[in-house]
């Protein structure tokens, strides 16, 4: 008994360290909320947290990136407040875990990130999943259910924050596996981890550095256009999600031109993810690269979520020696692109792309080389 108390006290005083990765989607964009297949991977850029116990009834958070302190009184009702900014992600997770019956311990959490925020690499999902994992682990939950954690965080994003995203981001940062991408069926959550062996080639993330102010509202607009498309088809046959529609359904039943374009993207991108999975398993990187290019064109012309900055990246990248595929990644409307480039030509590639982008757009790019990492966890 005495030993147990001493052990707890030591734990109570020590700082515990946690990490949650961001994610990059290799292919399969805007399919998760349509019940399709996606292929993301967790990345070595992410959010770190130092956690200490408190002896009151509060969660107090600070961040190396943002100045204001977030203080949550665990005995009071928790509400969304616009001025709380990033603190709303923490509040939402605390509230929803309390709702699920977890007794939340009082903690002091210091965050620091090497993941750019708001750049389409899932900084918000990383923060949600990190907080959800910390709170459960600190509350003594063993074998934390990563998929349930991802689902709870998605609900926070959908209902507390108000972005009607799918499950891809939370799922990938919660369950990620080192050196593997995951092929996830977003309707059933069945998934397969596939090793990413790119040999002489490497993926590189390219940040447009464009501010993404309208991303949330444009995102919700695309989601509702897809719901319109689904309703047209459901007048003629029973399907649960747009991901189940055939090309004929889309061409014959959708009476609205915009909704039809969105649905065609969903259909074709879904096929590309499955083909890309085969390419990754066979090591056919050239074909994988062509699928990335086709994905970008579809997101530009049918889904209309790219914009001049992402188009300049993707369309310029593939004209530069060593690059075999490039596309936007994440929600779009700014944010990041991803390219597959021969390692020996990477430095020259970055230099040339940056030069052309800066001349056309007026400000430079940022590049992130990364490894594919494990999902959220405590660091020992
Ligand atoms: C954002 C959303 C995801 C997904 C992507 C687009 O990252 O959070 O759920 O819809 O956009 O693929």
pLDDT category at 215 given cuts 50, 70, 90 is low
Q: Return the residue whose CA atom lies nearest to atom 8 of ligand 1.
A: 165
pLDDT category at 1 given cuts 50, 70, 90 is very low
208 belongs to a structural domain: no
216 belongs to a structural domain: no
- 232 C-alpha to center of ligand 1: Å? 24
Mutate to test the pocket of ligand 1, among 23, 26, 28, 30 (most ligand atoms within 8 A of CB): 30
56 belongs to a structural domain: yes
pLDDT at 12: 64
* Residues of the domain holding 88: 9-195
Mutate to test the pocket of ligand 1, among 28, 168, 218, 296 (most ligand atoms within 8 A of CB): 168
The CATH number given to whatever domain includes residue 188 is 3.30.230.10
pTM for this model (two decimals): 0.95
The count of domains in the chain is 1
213 belongs to a structural domain: no
- Tens digits of residue pLDDT in 262-310: 999 999 999 999 999 999 999 999 999 999 999 999 999 999 999 999 9
- 133 C-alpha to center of ligand 1: Å? 21
Q: Is 169 a catalytic residue?
A: yes
- 250 C-alpha to center of ligand 1: Å? 22
Nearest in space to 120 (alpha carbons), one of 254, 238, 218 = 218
Q: Return the residue whose CA atom lies nearest to atom 2 of ligand 1.
A: 165
- Tens digits of residue pLDDT in 315-360: 999 999 999 999 999 999 999 999 999 999 999 999 999 999 999 9
pLDDT at 4: 39
- Check if the beta carbon of residue 369 is closer than 8 Å to that of residue 174: no
pLDDT at 118: 87
Question: Residues near ligand 1 with C-beta < 6 Å?
Answer: 25, 29-30, 32-33, 165-166, 168-169, 330-331
125 belongs to a structural domain: yes
Sequence-distant (≥ 6) Cβ neighbours of residue 242 within 8 angstroms = 34, 35, 36, 226, 229, 230, 233, 263, 266
Backbone angles phi, psi at 261, to 5 degrees: -65, -45
Check pLDDT > 50 for residue 5.
no
CA distances from 265 to 77, 282, 299 (A): 42, 25, 7
20 belongs to a structural domain: yes
């Amino acid at each position: 008994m005495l030993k147990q108390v001493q052990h707890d006290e030591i734990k109570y005083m020590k700082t515990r360290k946690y990490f949650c990765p961001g994610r990059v989607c290799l292919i399969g964009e805007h399919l998760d909320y349509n019940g399709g297949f996606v292929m993301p991977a967790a990345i070595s850029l992410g959010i770190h947290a130092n956690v200490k116990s408190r002896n009151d009834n509060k969660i107090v958070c600070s961040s190396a990136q943002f100045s204001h302190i977030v203080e949550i009184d665990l005995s009071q009702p928790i509400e969304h407040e616009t001025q709380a900014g990033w603190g709303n992600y923490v509040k939402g997770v605390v509230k929803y875990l309390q709702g699920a019956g977890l007794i939340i311990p009082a903690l002091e959490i210091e965050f620091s990130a090497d993941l750019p925020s708001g750049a389409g690499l899932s900084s918000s999902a990383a923060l949600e999943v990190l907080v959800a994992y910390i709170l459960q682990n600190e509350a003594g939950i063993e074998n934390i259910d990563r998929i349930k954690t991802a689902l709870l965080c998605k609900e926070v994003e959908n209902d507390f924050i108000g972005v009607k995203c799918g499950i891809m981001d939370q799922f990938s940062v919660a369950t990620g596996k080192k050196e593997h991408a995951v092929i996830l069926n977003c309707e059933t959550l069945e998934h397969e981890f596939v090793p990413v062996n790119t040999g002489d080639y490497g993926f590189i993330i390219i940040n447009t550095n464009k501010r993404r102010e309208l991303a949330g509202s444009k995102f919700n607009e695309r989601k509702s256009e897809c719901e319109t498309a689904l309703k047209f088809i459901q007048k003629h046959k029973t399907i649960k999600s747009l991901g189940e529609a055939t090309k004929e359904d889309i061409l014959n039943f959708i009476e609205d031109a915009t909704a039809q374009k969105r649905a065609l993207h969903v259909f074709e991108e879904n096929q590309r993810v499955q083909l890309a999975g085969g390419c990754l398993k066979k090591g056919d990187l050239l074909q994988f690269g062509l699928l990335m290019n086709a994905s970008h064109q579809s997101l530009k012309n049918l889904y209309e979520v790219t914009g001049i900055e992402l188009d300049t990246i993707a369309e310029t990248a593939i004209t530069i020696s060593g690059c075999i595929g490039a596309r936007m990644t994440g929600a779009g409307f700014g944010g990041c692109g991803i390219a597959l480039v021969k390692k020996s030509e990477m430095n020259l590639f970055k230099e040339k792309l940056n030069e052309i982008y800066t001349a056309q757009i007026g400000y430079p790019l940022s590049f992130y080389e990364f490894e594919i990492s494990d999902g959220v966890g405590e660091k020992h």
